[in-house]
Amino acid sequence: MSRLQSSPESPLPLRRISQALAEWIGRLGEVWVEGQVAQFVRRPGVQTHFLTLRDTDANISMQVTCHRSILPDEQLAEGARVILRVRPDFYAERGTLSLRATEIRQVGLGELLARIERLRQLLAAEGLFAAERKRRLPFLPHTIGLITGRASAAERDVVDNSRRRLPGARFRVESVATQGNTAVTEVIAALQRLDADPDVQVIVIARGGGSVEDLLPFSNEALLRAVAEARTPVVSAIGHETDRPLLDLVADLAASTPTDAAKRIVPDLNAELDHLADLRSRLRRNVHRRLDTEAELMAGLPQRLRHNVGRLIEAGQDETARAVQRARHRWDVLLQLARADVDQLLARVISLSPQAVLNRGYAVLSDPAGSVIRRADQAEPGSKLLARVADGRFTVQVTEAL
């Protein structure tokens, strides 16, 4: 379809715009759409019925017309989830848009549970339920963020039980719709506001019990991803112990009930004081027991000291005696070795001394000046020489040099 041409000088009539809108919208054809019945109007004697269809996750609604013959066998009540095959209709005369249904299917409980299971498998595969993503709750949160219905029993359970355990616990309460088509958007908006508050250190999403349909917002994918992306630890406290929305799997902590959530987010002051008193008592007993032990040790110290010193002295005396004995033995051995060395040296000295040579019958000749005669040409005939033998000296006269 070509674009409409217009100008201030050549404006188009309103009917032309309305007809163009009807043609453009009619080109969409039939589509399948899912929503929740917000209002259903039956007019007696009229074949066409009217209902208001709302988006399950957003505040958007449209009028739907349907023939009586296509209504499902089940009673179509307000709040029911339905799947419709519709064709958009634009009424040019009134400029209104509505949907004309040609088939209506009511979504049963089994289909809802199957969708939740498929979403659970998808998020589990992405790791949104992994234990390593879970954050530890603060021991004493500065401010507790609470998302719940206005003046609900869940709010009283969380606030009253928390303050019973820890008087003065501070809350920032966000009142939202906890069921219906606006629940998801309101809970997400409240979560984002609390997550942006630096004083809020833990966020509790609480609601009382209900049917599977009532708790569907807490298995909504958009809400689950918003919880996974939050910086602040989130506690899920939805329904009773048997209720298990997917929010329990994504949250950092899943409480079985709102009352259980109060027990998990703040410590019991009286129990902590009793625990501190018990610790002080145990510490005091341990100190006294240690002092008694040390006093007993100090009382027996002189006797043990004398005994130990005496034992050390005796051991020192024994060691000294053994050392003296070893030293004496060592000196005896060294003296014997030294004596043997001296005897050997003495024997060598004696064997090498001139006297030993003289004792063997040799004589030493020297001239009157005392010079020893070593060669025959030193003894001139007629000269007198001094001869030294083993037992004395005498003079000899050279008669001939041979």
Rounded to 5 degrees, what are φ and ψ at 394?
A: -160, 165
Give Cα separations from 363 to 151, 298, 351, 356 (angstroms): 147, 92, 16, 11
Give the model's pLDDT for residue 191: 94
3-state SS class at 220: coil
Split at pLDDT 50, 70, 90, the class of 402 is: low
Split at pLDDT 50, 70, 90, the class of 224 is: very high
How much of the chain is helix, strand and coil, in % rounded to 5?
45, 20, 35
Q: Which of 273, 259, 275, 272 is nearest to 162 (CA)?
A: 259
Contact 12, 6 (CB under 8 A): yes
Environment class of 216 (CB within 10 Å of its CB; exposed 0-12, middle 13-18, buried 19+): buried
Task: Give the tens place of pLDDT for each residue, 336-390.
Answer: 998 988 888 888 877 777 777 777 777 888 887 778 777 777 777 878 878 888 7
- 160 and 135 housed in the same domain: yes
Give the model's pLDDT for residue 192: 93
Q: Which of 53, 43, 49, 80 is nearest to 65 (CA)?
A: 49
pLDDT above 90: residue 209 = no
pLDDT above 60: residue 26 = yes
In a domain, 305, yes or no: no
Beta bridge partners of 96: 91
Contact 206, 147 (CB under 8 A): yes
Mean pLDDT of 216-224: 87
The total domain count for the chain is 3
CATH number of the domain enclosing 192: 3.40.50.261
Which of 78, 107, 136 is where one domain is finished? Answer: 107
Q: Distance between CA 112 and CA 105 in Å, rounded?
A: 13
In a domain, 283, yes or no: no
pLDDT above 90: residue 199 = yes
For residue 176, the enclosing domain spans 112-269
Q: Distance between CA 115 and CA 134 in Å, rounded?
A: 25
In a domain, 120, yes or no: yes
Give the model's pLDDT for residue 109: 62
- The pTM score is 0.54
pLDDT above 60: residue 1 = no
pLDDT winner (highest mean) among 24-33, 67-76, 145-154, 360-369: 145-154
**Contact partners, residue 36, CB within 8 Å, separation at least 6:** 53, 54, 55, 56, 79, 80, 81, 82, 181
Contact 140, 236 (CB under 8 A): no
Q: Distance between CA 238 and CA 261 in Å, rounded?
A: 10
What is the percentage of the chain residues whose pLDDT exceeds 90? Answer: 16
Q: Distance between CA 143 and CA 194 in Å, rounded?
A: 10
Give the model's pLDDT for residue 111: 65
Q: Distance between CA 158 and CA 260 in Å, rounded?
A: 8
- 131 and 92 housed in the same domain: no
- 142 and 43 housed in the same domain: no
Split at pLDDT 50, 70, 90, the class of 87 is: confident
- 50 and 172 housed in the same domain: no
- 92 and 127 housed in the same domain: no
Give the model's pLDDT for residue 234: 94
Task: Give the tens place of pLDDT for each residue, 302-320.
Answer: 777 777 877 888 888 888 9
Split at pLDDT 50, 70, 90, the class of 196 is: very high
More reliable by pLDDT, 216 or 235: 235
In a domain, 54, yes or no: yes
- 36 and 122 housed in the same domain: no
- 121 and 56 housed in the same domain: no
pLDDT above 60: residue 38 = yes
Q: Distance between CA 54 and CA 79 in Å, rounded?
A: 9
Burial 298-319 (b: 16+ CB within 10 A, else e): eeeeeeeeeeeeeeeeeeeeee
CATH number of the domain enclosing 29: 2.40.50.140
- 251 and 142 housed in the same domain: yes
Other Cβ atoms within 10 Å of 247 Cβ, number: 24
